[in-house]
Homo-oligomer: A and B are copies of this chain.
Amino acid sequence: MAELDVVAIGNALVDVLSHAGEEFLRAHGLAKGTMQLVDEARARELYAAMGPGIEVSGGSAANTIVGVASFGGRAAYVGKVRNDQLGDVFSHDLRAMGVGYATPVATDGPSTGRCLIVVTPDAQRTMSTYLGASSRLGPFDIDKRLVERAQILYLEGYLFDRPEAQEAFRVAARIAHAAGRTVALTLSDPFCVDRHRAAFVDLVEHHVDVLFANDAEIRSLYEVADFETAAARVRGHCAIAALTRSERGSVVVSRDGVHVIEAEPVPKVLDTTGAGDLYAAGFMVGLSRRLPLATCGRLGALAAAEVISHVGARPMRSLADLAGAVLR
């Protein structure tokens, strides 16, 4: 048995969350529901235009790994911050959840990365990311022993936005496979898929055991208009693909079959930030306990429902408590 359930690698970011109307997105050329990379000057300009915010640790794979820990999973994270106040916040919030985190902190260069998130009245989030110190993650930050110790290696697609991080990604995947571990990937964002389509298709079809993608991402990957075609295509190439469809639930395809899982009802959706991240957390907790795929999907749906019912991308309740009987 592996010593850890999941080790996740991603861009270490602190979220700055603020509410605004649709006109803010138009005025600043932001495409709703997506993530765009920005440089420091643009981040400063956007922040100055944003309303009052709250700061909360984020980063897609970091949100996922906190979800894994909240379910009671044994978890570790790899990602880079600087030795500054927001870096301290990020590290504290991981460790306070019991997530192992020992990536060397940058002592010079750009400040800790920030994700400026505008939440519109429809609860959709639109993200502008300044990678900052997280962009300094490279292959030398991958601890071979750590990756070998975890049953599942989880990688975020956003890593592909930097060549050095891509290389870290490939090094980690090779180590995991050599140790007989499972490699999981999330496509992260349809625009991110656009930017790296060929590389992602190669990864998904030859190097990834478990794929996470939402409707827009999987259609973007295969450049097809309908979900069913994309789902059929990925089914032929990847051992397990968990495809999320917001309020329409998720579809888990594997060589053995197709499972359709309903979304968990939510009294009021307040902020969709982290929905996909937390779905992946629940799903991998199920996988690590060798539960049936439909149960994995159900755990994902539970975790996603928790995180969209409040502002912020990390769970505010114990997911182990929430899952209750499903896990026991």
- Whether a CB of chain B sits under 8 angstroms from the CB of A298 is no
Which residue of the partner chain B has the closest CB to A18?
A: B96
The B-contacting residues of A in range 27-81, CB under 8 angstroms, are: 47-48, 50-57, 66
Q: Determine the chain B residues whose CB is within 8 A of the CB of A51 once the complex forms.
A: 96-97
Asked whether, in the complex, the Cβ of B56 is within 8 Å of the Cβ of A54, the reply is yes
Q: Count of A residues near B, CB < 8 Å?
A: 25
The one of B48, B84, B97 in contact with A85, judged by C-beta atoms closer than 8 angstroms, is B84
Report how far A66 CA is from B19 CA in the complex, Å.
16
Q: Determine the chain B residues whose CB is within 8 A of the CB of A50 once the complex forms.
A: 92, 96
Report how far A137 CA is from B93 CA in the complex, Å.
31
Asked whether, in the complex, the Cβ of A314 is within 8 Å of the Cβ of B52, the reply is yes
The B-contacting residues of A in range 79-99, CB under 8 angstroms, are: 84-86, 89, 92-93, 96-97
Q: Determine the chain B residues whose CB is within 8 A of the CB of A314 once the complex forms.
A: 52
Report how far A150 CA is from B50 CA in the complex, Å.
27
Asked whether, in the complex, the Cβ of B54 is within 8 Å of the Cβ of A54, the reply is yes
- Whether a CB of chain B sits under 8 angstroms from the CB of A111 is yes
State the Cβ distance, A264 to closest chain B Cβ, in Å: 21
- Whether a CB of chain B sits under 8 angstroms from the CB of A157 is no
Which residue of the partner chain B has the closest CB to A111?
A: B85
- Whether a CB of chain B sits under 8 angstroms from the CB of A286 is no
Asked whether, in the complex, the Cβ of B54 is within 8 Å of the Cβ of A92, the reply is no
Q: Determine the chain B residues whose CB is within 8 A of the CB of A19 once the complex forms.
A: 316
8 nearest interchain CB pairs?
A55-B55, A52-B93, A85-B85, A54-B56, A52-B96, A51-B96, A85-B86, A54-B54
